[in-house]
Chains A and B, each alone.
Chain A
Amino acid sequence: MDLSHISLTDAAELLRSRSLSAVELTRHFLNRIETTDPTLNAFITVDAAGALAAAEAADLRLAQGQATPLTGIPLAIKDLFCTQGLRTTCASKMLQHFVPPYESTVTRRLKAAGAVVLGKTNMDEFAMGSSNETSFFGPVRNPWDHDRTPGGSSGGSAAATAAGLCLAAIGTDTGGSIRQPAALTGTTGLKPTYGRVSRYGMIAFASSLDQAGPMTRSVADAATLLQAMAGHDPLDSTSIDAPVPDYQSGLTTSMRGMRIGIPAEYFADGLADSVRRGVEQAMETFRSLGAQCLSLSLPSTAYAIPTYYIIAPAEASSNLARYDGIRFGHRCADPQDLQEMYARSRSEGFGAEVKRRIMLGTYVLSSGYYDAYYRKAQKVRRLIADDFQSAFTQVDLLLTPTTPETAFRIGEKNSDPVQMYLSDIFTINVNLAGLPGLSLPCGFDENNLPVGVQLIGRPLQEATLLAAGHAFQQVTDWHLRRPS
């Protein structure tokens, strides 16, 4: 059996039946990382010792029959979740040596369930990017084509999952950072409803948009991970206090009678033919499962990019003010005075894209521009959210392409920030509206690069998304394809 690509359910069964130990499974992935990751660069930090210790503890628990579905399951964690005692860099020189003395709620819950953290995955610096090229630790390579990006910002988590360097991974999504890399690497990525998963200990990019979610090789695996991640957290004031349904048992919900909306704006010019084909094929599949597809309109769609690129950098400019060289993070050598310490520490510690967004965010919030940019964007954000709300009076789900095109070449877009920003066009609306979104592999282009389809649901209707995705994956095998 190829352990590298087995499902969480199968792995848990092997562990429970004691035909495989957690230590063996962990060793398997540590070895894979050792041989494969020098090429992919999916990990920033591999914690072999910590992983093996956790695996041993998991074996003990398995032996005592106290296992959860995640006990002994090796995971990769995006390097912006604070892990106590384990370096957390946000892929920035700024936090190159930062070892948090506290734990994020997401990793705490996963660890409490018995999961094994293999290491921390590469990403765009402070999650700002769509190609993983802004990482201080170098770009991640797409397992399907090493000259291409795996997308971003959770590119390391996506690549590690696609390449079988872990059983599954955790990412975060501010404007598509789970779904876009999932689409570009042929994996399954779920961005839950804003507030469904705690943001405590997750290093903030844009606080009103950030949300953590699972990145897996199947919807069923995503359901298992979400089960452990989701739920109210008293440490996060924006966390929703609502019961968490049993996602696993909800997977078998029938698609019959399900109404799926197809927003016309997502199929306009600029959508690659290969992507269009894949997505239309997915539509057909859903029809064949008994769902009904209805065309509809989300008229504010075109305004999402400018709205997002005002709100996200504005929040980021403020969130990143704490990196001042005083309490943690990079401090420049021998500053002559306080102001020099600030300016040099920050300028040395942050990369170009992060600085660009801080500049942008500072500008749009600054005196005289707030109303024209920030307040205007907040109003348009409301219109975008209202679009979705009215769509969901007619349909249960929306189906769109996840990205306008398949994986692009490393270096192809990083000279032009505007071009790069436009690659988020189909994902950021979902963050602005706070909705759950799921990206599923739905085909391949002429270069054998994966295509992703996105399902968007009502607030807190992750179960519906997962059921639809699972139904889809029961009758398709795109998610089972592996890069050579």
Chain B
Amino acid sequence: MSQDMSSFAGTDRYEIVVGLEVHAQMRTQSKIFCGCPTRFGAAANTQICPVCAAFPGVLPVLNREVVNMAIKTGLAIHGQVRLLSEFSRKNYFYPDLPAGYQISQYELPIVEHGHLLITPTADLPPKRIGITRIHIEVDAGKSMHEGIQGASWVDLNRTGTPLMEIVSEPDLRSALEAGEYLKKLRAIVRYLGVCDGNMEEGSFRCDANVSVRLRGESRLGTRCELKNLNSIRNVMRAIDYEAVRQIDLIESGERVIQESRLWNADLNSSRSMRGKEDAHDYRYFPEPDLPPLRISAARIESVAASMPELPDAKATRLQTEYQLSEYDAGVLTASQALADYFEAVARYTAELGHPNPKMAANWVIGELGGRLNKDNLEIQQSPISVQQLGKLVAMIQQGVISGKIAKEIFETLFTDGGDPQHIVEQKGLQQVTDSAAIEEAVEQVLATYPEDVAQYRAGKGKVLGFLVGQIMKATQGKANPALVNQLLRAKLDKRL
């Protein structure tokens, strides 16, 4: 199917409706129903036992931490934790599902009726995305096919790893909203420490249910389920692709068929998985090996008390405590590590006696964020420490260096490390605050650009910036910009 721009022409009349199902692997030490480790990357089948490998006669015993993590997540998404929930069996045959059924939750999931607020664009108020349910279930093993002659291999190490399935309402209206929702949800599970949120490694997996309808229509269109979306970028691309595909079908008088579709990130397209599902009938029924799960109000309270500050609360606090903009606070709290880093930098500048949290935020988001992004690094891997950046910001605030010089030092710190102060001293980058030296440069520039001086005096204030730039250039950027401004104005105005 073509996806040229002409396809997009009609899209305005349509509305995209998206619901997401996220499978989050819980970061427990042991598996959900046995004592096997959940560690990633062990040799095949070395982390299995009769229970998770579903040998005859064995029985499941629930890991308490799995329940606690699900409660935490439920509270974090403003959901209702059910006081009574139950486990069910979802029956189907697949080589990596050793019991022939997946222990999951069906009629009575542990959490219901939650929601998240997302801010897809800075200029619109936050949007509420409903979360239908969170349920607990077991992960399957892995089958391998590639490079194996005439057979597949089954590795059950992952079998029995606890999962949370987090199901959103069909409240998302664009790929962008879907992306924001996923970022928010991922930030929350990471803050809570219940999931590492790694989409590439599959510990945070997403299926997207996508449909389209004419704007103003209240009924939902026929949806397709998109699978194999291993990054937020792919989720967004797949949704856009799917929306166009469905609109094309409808526009050409065809019908959308409800089906699962497999996304291929390399080809940037999806294909139908029809026929592979061979009329699934999961025959859910309550798991007889596990009594119902009753959760007391006291337990929910004690779990709530153990929860860390979550992104929304943290963002609000950063705004009031550090006078940050809503946008900056939102960016910083997207990851707990980033927010922690920022707070540490801000605190350090205060310790050094030259606090400027707003400037610290700009440096963390702008310079550092951009640089890390370029090198594909996480904040935890930042080569620049809190102390280094803190000192740099403090030095700007103190007036020792200009912002421009600071950027130069930043690059040195990022690539070679070192103490910002030493670098400044070694390279002689201290700001020139000696007014005599600056005055000399001002005189020189005024003499070189008489026309601009005349323009300024004719009322064109804009040229001031140009003149300042020339002076900075003449001083190799070391002149204190405030002083330059002050002296320049004084001279221009005096000669009037």
Q: Are B56 and A342 in contact (CB under 8 A)?
A: no
Q: Are A236 and B100 in contact (CB under 8 A)?
A: no
Minimum distance in angstroms from A371 CB to a CB of chain B: 11
The answer to whether the Cβ of A356 comes within 8 Å of any Cβ in the partner chain is no
Q: Are A327 and B54 in contact (CB under 8 A)?
A: yes
The residues of A that contact B56 with a CB separation of less than 8 Å are: 82, 88, 90, 95, 98, 100, 203-204, 322-323, 328
Q: Which chain B residue lies CB-closest to A378?
A: B286
Q: Which chain B residue lies CB-closest to A198?
A: B59
**Contact A238 to B289, CB < 8 A, known contacts A322-B54, A328-B55:** yes
The residues of A that contact B100 with a CB separation of less than 8 Å are: 318, 320-322, 324
The answer to whether the Cβ of B57 comes within 8 Å of any Cβ in the partner chain is yes
CB within 8 Å of A: which B137-191 residues: 152, 154
The answer to whether the Cβ of B126 comes within 8 Å of any Cβ in the partner chain is no
Q: Are A367 and B59 in contact (CB under 8 A)?
A: no
Q: How many residues of B contact A (CB 8 A)?
A: 29
Q: Are A362 and B61 in contact (CB under 8 A)?
A: no
Q: Are A102 and B59 in contact (CB under 8 A)?
A: no
**Contact A237 to B291, CB < 8 A, known contacts A88-B56, A370-B285:** yes
Complex CA–CA separation, A314 to B288 (angstroms): 11
**Which of the residues A98, A102, A324, A365 comes within 8 Å of B283, measured between beta carbons?**
A365
Q: Are B283 and A318 in contact (CB under 8 A)?
A: yes
Complex CA–CA separation, A318 to B290 (angstroms): 14
The answer to whether the Cβ of A1 comes within 8 Å of any Cβ in the partner chain is no
**Which of the residues B53, B61, B281 comes within 8 Å of A237, measured between beta carbons?**
B61
**Contact A314 to B281, CB < 8 A, known contacts A321-B100, A326-B98, A327-B98:** no
**Contact A367 to B281, CB < 8 A, known contacts A237-B62, A324-B100:** yes
The answer to whether the Cβ of A20 comes within 8 Å of any Cβ in the partner chain is no
Q: Are A201 and B101 in contact (CB under 8 A)?
A: no
The residues of B that contact A200 with a CB separation of less than 8 Å are: 57-59
The answer to whether the Cβ of B60 comes within 8 Å of any Cβ in the partner chain is yes
The answer to whether the Cβ of A104 comes within 8 Å of any Cβ in the partner chain is yes
Q: Are A321 and B288 in contact (CB under 8 A)?
A: no
**Contact A237 to B101, CB < 8 A, known contacts A318-B285, A324-B93, A342-B93:** no
Most chain B CB inside 10 Å of its own CB: which residue of A104, A204, A362: A204
Minimum distance in angstroms from B51 CB to a CB of chain A: 8
The residues of A that contact B54 with a CB separation of less than 8 Å are: 322, 327
Minimum distance in angstroms from B259 CB to a CB of chain A: 18
The residues of A that contact B57 with a CB separation of less than 8 Å are: 80-82, 100, 104, 199-204
Complex CA–CA separation, A206 to B285 (angstroms): 13
The answer to whether the Cβ of B99 comes within 8 Å of any Cβ in the partner chain is yes
Q: Are B93 and A102 in contact (CB under 8 A)?
A: no
Q: Which chain B residue lies CB-closest to A325?
A: B95
CB within 8 Å of A: which B26-85 residues: 50, 53-62
Q: Are A318 and B55 in contact (CB under 8 A)?
A: no
Complex CA–CA separation, A387 to B218 (angstroms): 50
Minimum distance in angstroms from B155 CB to a CB of chain A: 12
The answer to whether the Cβ of A338 comes within 8 Å of any Cβ in the partner chain is yes
Q: Are B53 and A235 in contact (CB under 8 A)?
A: no
Complex CA–CA separation, A315 to B290 (angstroms): 13
**Contact A236 to B154, CB < 8 A, known contacts A322-B54, A327-B54, A365-B285:** no
The residues of B that contact A309 with a CB separation of less than 8 Å are: none
Q: Are A208 and B288 in contact (CB under 8 A)?
A: yes
Q: Which chain A residue lies CB-closest to B45?
A: A327
Q: Are A327 and B53 in contact (CB under 8 A)?
A: yes
The residues of B that contact A208 with a CB separation of less than 8 Å are: 288
Q: Which chain B residue lies CB-closest to A95?
A: B56
The 7 closest A-B pairs by CB, nearest first: A321-B100, A207-B288, A365-B283, A208-B288, A203-B57, A203-B56, A201-B57
Can you offer 18 A-B residue contacts whose CB atoms are under 8 A?
A: A82-B55, A98-B56, A100-B56, A101-B50, A200-B59, A203-B57, A204-B57, A236-B59, A237-B289, A237-B291, A238-B288, A238-B291, A318-B283, A321-B93, A322-B98, A324-B93, A328-B55, A338-B95
Q: A100-B56, A234-B61, A327-B54 are in contact. List 4 more A-B contacts (CB 8 A).
A: A104-B57, A237-B290, A315-B288, A327-B55
